Structure formats: C-alpha cells, structure tokens
Amino acid sequence: MPFPLFRRPQSASDSSDALDAKAPRRWGRWALVLLAVLALHWGAARWVGRNGNVINPPPVDDVPVQVELLTAKPVEQAPVPAPAPTPVVKPTPKPAPVATQKPAAPTISIPRDEPDAQATATAAAVASAASATAAAQAAQPAPPVPPAPTVPGDKFDVPPSGELRYDTLVNGMMNQTGTIHWINDGQHYEMVVSIPIPFVGPYVYSSKGHIDRFGVAPEQYSEQRGRRAADVTVFDRETKQLVYTRTPANNPLADGAQDRFSVFMQLASLVRGAPDTYKPGVTRQFSVADNDSSEAWSFVTVADENVQARGGSVGARHFTRLPRREGDRRRIDVWLAPSLGWLPVRIVQTEPNGMQIELLWRGKLPALATPVASPDGVETGAPGTPDASDESAPGPLQTEKP
C-alpha cells in the first residue's frame, strides 16, 4: 500500500472532473427518494379513499329543551314465555269391593212412653239443622285479600348476546377495529370492550355483574390501558359502597348505579323496553362509577337521525350527554338503532380541544333472530328482535376520563 507521501497531488482539473462525475449520482438518489415519497402518498390516498369514505356530520351543539327527567327506579322486564304445562295423568280407579250381606240380627222392641219418643225426635232435628248450617258456612270461600298497591316500573328489555365490531375513527380518519364481547343469559351479564391503540397496545374495559330489580347491575368494573396495570372498581352491594383499587377513598353505591360502559347497555335496555317514551327532550339520569369516583350522567333524547355506516344508511335515535358541571366541554353522543335491537350504531366522544373519537358500526344489518336455547337451557336470543352476534362494538375510546 503506497504511503500518502508518495501520492501524486491532484490538480484543479482533476477535482472538477470528480465533482462532475458524482453530480449525476446525487441527482439519481434524490429522484429515487422523491418517487418513493410520491408512491407512499398515492398509496395512502388510495387507502383513505377505500376506508374513509363513510362520513357522518359532527354532533350539533344545540340540544332540545328538557321536558322530562327520568331517574332510577325498579324495572319491569319483558315477559318470558311460560313453559308448556305438563299433562297430568289421572290414576285408574280401583274397582269397589263387593259387600257381602249378612243376615240382620233380630231386633227387640222395648216399648217407651210417648213423651220420651217426641223429645228424642225434636233433639235430633235441632242437631241436624245445626250441622247443616256449619257445613254450608265451611263450604263458602274466604273473601279475597286485596292486593298491595304497586308502583309501575320502567319497561326493560336486555339486548341479546353478541360479538360486536366497530370501526374506530379519529377526527374522521380510519383507525383500527374495536370489539365488544357481550353475554347476557337473563340473570348475569359480561362485557369486554377492546380497542387497539397503535404503539400503545389495546385499551381493554371489562364489566360483569347480574340483572336485578333496577336493571343491569355491575359487580366489578376494570380498565387497562396499554401495558399499565388494570384499575378495578368493586360494587359492594352488601355495604352499599364503591371500592377502588386506584384510591383508598370509597363512595356510596346508589340504586341502579352503572360503570362507564354498562351505562350504554342500561340505556339500550330501557329504550328497547319502551321506545315511545324517549321523545326529544326526555332525559335519563344515571349514577356512573369510574375507576376512582362516581358522578351523575344525564342523556337527553335529541332526535331520530340517519347514520351512514358500511352497510348503508341506518335509522337511529340520537342521545347526548349533558354537561356534568359548569364549563364541562367533554361530551358523548350515542345513536341507538332499532334495526340492531337498539344497540349503538355510532358513538362519538368530543374532547375539550375539539378532537373527536368515533366508533361506527361495521358490516351488514343482521337478520332477525329467534330464541336459541343453549345446552344448559338458556335462551341466547330475544324473540322478535335482531341478534347482532356478527356485528360491532359499543363503547367510546377513552384518551382520558370522559
């Protein structure tokens, strides 16, 4: 290898020739980079054109004047068809025994005085009349007891079980698909909402409990955001307290209390039970527990509107959450569709900075379902209502507390 000392020094002409030779290669590299960027933009535009073509207008700020406030009270669930009566088999009567007649013993007649015979006959007649009167009184039914007065409850019909899916949009741009697992056997329920977040991991919200006289009754609610540990809220119905793992503070447990996701199923169940009740201006109030507190949420009925989903236009009833306090600029809007059994077809959460996070039902409208009995005899569908088992996911994507 020659030493630098013995290298021939380059002249000015040699340097200019080298620069002229490198220039075309530099322009070639820049041209390739430009072509790659253009190709990426073209691919992104094609993807947005295919997936972001479903556009719904943002929720309007104007809400109807509140005409009625509905609060929690016992519910009246939809009647369950009674099982067919079991036929009663009458026993075969046994033949009556044949009586054998024995010769009568001779009777000896003892003459008595006439007055004694008349007294005996009179006493016998009086005893017979008293016995007949007592028997007639015993045969008469007891007077009916008047029923206790009852307060009419809210009509209530829990949505059938289903695996639900929603498209997730952020400021109108398509994101990933959210899902909700909803199981209802008429006595207990479970729902798990999962929303994948890029570079963070899935946000998973879980609620499980039972159905009581106030409707959907959570027993435990948990939320896990990405790789963080889950925060759990326990609905302790023995002590009537809300217990949190995130904070040592407790809160009183109100009748009909919900968590941030069961409240959507409670609202859907109430509207399914009495859809004509929820006219524009009618407001339903709930006590809603979070992972560290509890507060009142009020949803007002806005109007019947059309929602553009992948399967086409879907008629739905629009509800919006009223401000929880003065200056509250975070809002939640939900559209419940009768063609989906009054499950949510669209949910929009609007942040104070204007960012909107939307869940939009995806897929074709489900067909009407008939009750299907599981091996343990529990019906998984509701008669006369659609079963959304092949569709979407109610529940808003949470960047922070709503």
pLDDT in tens, 297-340: 999 999 999 999 888 899 999 999 999 999 898 999 999 999 99
Residues 233 and 265 in one domain: yes
With helix as H, strand as E and coil as C, how does 13-48 read? HHHHHHHHHHHHHHHHHHHHHHHHHHHHHHHHHHHH
- Res 187: pLDDT: 95
pLDDT at 22 over 80: no
Residue 214 structural domain = 68-77+153-361
Q: List pLDDT tens digits, range 211-241.
A: 999 999 999 999 998 888 999 999 999 999 9
Residues 338 and 193 in one domain: yes
Q: Are 375 and 385 in contact (CB under 8 A)?
A: no
Residues 220 and 357 in one domain: yes
Choice between 280 and 38, residue whose per-residue pLDDT is larger = 280
- Res 15: pLDDT: 55
In the DSSP assignment, the letter for residue 55 is -
- Res 205: pLDDT: 94
Alpha-carbon Rg for the chain, nearest whole angstrom, is 39
Q: Are 221 and 262 in contact (CB under 8 A)?
A: yes
Do the strands 343-350 and 356-361 form a parallel or antiparallel pair, or are they unpaired?
antiparallel
Residues 28 and 73 in one domain: no
- Read off the CATH number of the domain in which 274 is found: 2.50.20
Q: How far apart are CA 136 and CA 143, in angstroms?
A: 15
Residues 33 and 73 in one domain: no
Residues 34 and 180 in one domain: no
* Mean pLDDT score of the chain: 76
Mean pLDDT of 272-277: 96
Tokens of 210: 């039972």
pLDDT at 131 over 80: no
- Res 385: pLDDT: 45
Residues 326 and 353 in one domain: yes
With helix as H, strand as E and coil as C, how does 249-277 read? CEEECCCCCEECCHHHHHHHHHHHHCHHH
- Res 206: pLDDT: 97
Residues 73 and 32 in one domain: no
pLDDT at 77 over 50: yes
Residues 73 and 42 in one domain: no
Q: How many CA atoms, within 13 angstroms, populate the side-chain half-sphere of residue 56?
A: 32
State the CB neighbour count (10 A cutoff) for residue 65: 7
User: What is the number of domains present in the chain?
Assistant: 2
pTM, rounded to two decimals: 0.65
State the CB neighbour count (10 A cutoff) for residue 236: 13
242 φ/ψ angles, rounded to the nearest 5 degrees:
-100, 120
- Whether residue 128 lies inside any domain: the answer is no
- Whether residue 311 lies inside any domain: the answer is yes
Q: List pLDDT tens digits, range 174-209.
A: 888 888 899 999 999 999 988 877 788 888 999 999
Residues 177 and 289 in one domain: yes
- Res 372: pLDDT: 38
**pLDDT over 90 percentage in the chain:** 38
Do the strands 75-77 and 343-350 form a parallel or antiparallel pair, or are they unpaired?
unpaired
